[in-house]
Amino acid sequence: MMNNNATLVPDQIIVGEHLYSDAIDLVLASAQQELLIFDQDLSHGNFASLQKYILLQDFLSTNITSHLTIILQDTAFFQEHCPRLFNLLAVHGHKMSVHVTNSSVKHVKDCFILADGQHYIKRIHIDQARFKYALNDKASVEALNNRFKELKEAIQDVVTIKPLGL
């Protein structure tokens, strides 16, 4: 069932970039221990905003055991347009990692965020602002977590704050 209202209704397909960003905020705010993010490049969902930075900063700062893992297909947008998030990597590198995939999964066009093994948001296709989210849906999160593990096996490199070399 398609939801064309300007509201965030869980467990339904919702359309709209602004609503997508708002739903991401809900999922990020619900996280206490673990955040897993898979995205093409973080260019959708308003990740360069102060709001996303504050939510992720709070997540990383509030709980000593919290951990954020981000897997991207391309890191250019993250490195060039998300200086606040890049700074989080500098400050919380012991609790946060950003990875880039190899070419074997470049065809994947959805993206998702998982929080604490029970909350999620999934964008169906990167080129369309159609998504679904839910809080307290362990079954859906478990399936997406298996996908995240598969994507983790396709990691090519780690994003670091310092250039590697001598």
**pTM for this one?**
0.92
Measured over all CA atoms, what is the biggest interatomic distance in the chain, rounded to whole angstroms? Answer: 56
166 within domain boundaries: no
163 within domain boundaries: no
Judge contact between 65 and 35, C-beta under 8 A: no
Q: What is the pLDDT of residues 42-89, one digit of tens each?
A: 999 999 999 999 999 999 999 999 999 999 999 999 999 999 999 999
10 within domain boundaries: no
> Phi first, then psi: what are they for 122, rounded to 5°?
-135, 120
Judge contact between 59 and 66, C-beta under 8 A: yes
pLDDT classification of 160: cutoffs 50, 70, 90: confident
Report the domain count for the chain: 1
> Which range marks the domain in which residue 75 is found?
20-156
7 within domain boundaries: no
Question: What CATH number did the domain enclosing 118 receive?
Answer: 3.30.870.10
4 within domain boundaries: no
